[in-house]
């Protein structure tokens, strides 16, 4: 039977910044898959739903009080004809391939960070360039996991916070690429935060519940105030859900510093992109990455120190 001192030594070793940093590199490699495939999986599902809806003649008649026109069924058939040949896609299938030549990436070409450096950032088959963002996301996740271990020590709760950080990294990259914050990530993050508080692993449950409700309602109110004043949508519903999840994990006390930091950095980034010509079509910058970045600051520094920074 292992003695308490040996158990502590093993825990200190496996939850050390070095080991969690290596784990973060591996998780970062998986997050690259999530960032690339999850939006595609959602888009496929939306088109499949659209094709199915077009076959619902009763729904059309209830909506318009007119018989369904023939073009509905014709359009649905055309969509099915294009969607049916697509290869089934999940986070695990099919194996990763080069987008240029279709070369299946072998296991030794998929070692986090090392493979990209060994291959000099190019596909081994066609020599097409591999984006530097892949190793950067792996490295960033590894550094964040190591920082979590430094912040929370070698306690098992560090693994919990690493999981939360991994979701924030994925949401940041997806939102920046697509302006989507998928419910498949934000809602589990919200519920996980509430459960963690209920289990007394993070903040008091009352702080988590108030934080979740306030986080959602704050941005919901901003959204509607902006829409009523301008007739335009200033943000998406995913931002509400993300801030609600952050409130569940960090408590209502963290909402003000998260909003101040994210708004400040977001405004600076927006101005910089405007003058550099980097704004995307529609001239907007997604807010999710800045919410996630501000939350990472609060996680790694602590709510109280950040509040002292922003206090007059």
Q: Tell whether the model's pLDDT for residue 159 goes beyond 90.
A: yes
219 belongs to a structural domain: yes
Report whether 171 contacts 29 (CB < 8 A). Answer: no
Q: Which region among 34-48, 228-242, 288-302 has the lowest average model confidence (pLDDT)?
A: 228-242
DSSP codes joined into one string, 155-175: STHHHHHHHHHHHHHHHHHHH
What proportion of the chain, given as a percentage, has pLDDT over 70? 95
**Is the preceding peptide bond at 246 cis, omega within 30 degrees of 0?**
no
On whether residue 158 sits in a domain, the answer given is: no
Residue 301 placed within a domain: yes
Q: Quick check: is 292 in a domain?
A: yes
Instruction: Indicate the number of domains in the chain.
Output: 1
Angle between helices 17-53 and 157-178 (to 10 degrees): 50
1 has pLDDT over 60: no
Residue 6 pLDDT class (50, 70, 90 cuts):
low
Q: Tell me how many degrees the CA angle 80-34-88 measures, rounded to the nearest 5.
A: 30
Residue 100 covered by a domain: no
Mean pLDDT of 71-91: 90
User: Any idea what DSSP says for residue 279?
Assistant: -
In a domain, residue 300? The reply is: yes
Rounded alpha-carbon distances, angstroms, from residue 282 to 11, 53, 110, 116, 278? 50, 29, 36, 34, 12
Q: Which domain holds residue 302?
A: 179-310
Kindly tell me if the per-residue pLDDT of 168 is higher than 90.
yes
Whether residue 267 lies inside any domain: the answer is yes
Residue 278 confidence (pLDDT): 65
Mean pLDDT across 188-205: 97
Residue 22: inside a domain, yes or no? Answer: no
Mean pLDDT over residues 93-112, rounded?
88
Q: Give residue 84's pLDDT band: very low, low, confident or very high (50, 70, 90).
A: confident
pLDDT for residue 188 is more than 60:
yes
Q: How many degrees, rounded to 5, is the angle at CA 171 between CA 11 and CA 147? A: 30
Give per-residue pLDDT as tens, 255-277. Answer: 999 999 999 998 888 778 777 76
Averaged confidence pLDDT in the chain: 91
């Amino acid at each position: 039977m292992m003695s308490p001192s040996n158990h502590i030594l093993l825990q200190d070793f496996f939850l050390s910044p070095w080991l969690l940093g290596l784990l973060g590199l591996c998780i970062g490699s998986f997050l690259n898959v999530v960032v690339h495939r999850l939006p595609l999986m959602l888009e496929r599902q939306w088109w499949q739903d659209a094709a199915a809806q077009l076959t619902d003649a009763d729904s059309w008649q209830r909506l318009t009080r007119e018989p369904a026109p023939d073009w509905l069924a014709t359009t649905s058939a055309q969509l099915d004809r294009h969607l049916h040949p697509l290869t089934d896609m999940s986070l695990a299938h099919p194996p990763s391939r080069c987008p240029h030549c279709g070369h299946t990436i072998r296991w030794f070409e998929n070692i986090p960070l090392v493979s990209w450096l060994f291959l000099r950032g190019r596909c081994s088959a066609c020599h097409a360039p591999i984006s530097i963002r892949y190793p950067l996301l792996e490295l960033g996740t590894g550094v964040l996991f190591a920082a979590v271990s430094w912040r929370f020590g070698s306690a098992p709760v560090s693994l919990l916070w690493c999981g939360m950080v991994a979701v924030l990294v994925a949401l940041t990259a997806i939102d920046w690429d697509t302006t989507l914050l998928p419910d498949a990530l934000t809602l589990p993050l919200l519920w996980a935060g509430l459960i963690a508080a209920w289990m007394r692993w993070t903040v008091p449950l009352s702080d988590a519940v108030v934080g979740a409700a306030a986080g959602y309602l704050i941005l919901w109110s901003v959204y509607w105030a902006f829409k009523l004043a301008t007739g335009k949508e200033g943000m998406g519903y995913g931002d509400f859900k993300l801030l609600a999840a952050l409130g569940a994990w960090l408590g209502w006390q963290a909402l003000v510093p998260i909003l101040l930091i994210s708004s400040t950095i977001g405004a600076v980034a927006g101005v910089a992109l405007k003058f550099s010509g980097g704004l995307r079509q529609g001239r907007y910058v997604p807010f999710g990455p800045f919410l996630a970045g501000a939350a990472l600051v609060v996680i790694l520094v602590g709510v109280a120190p950040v509040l002292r920074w922003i206090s007059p």
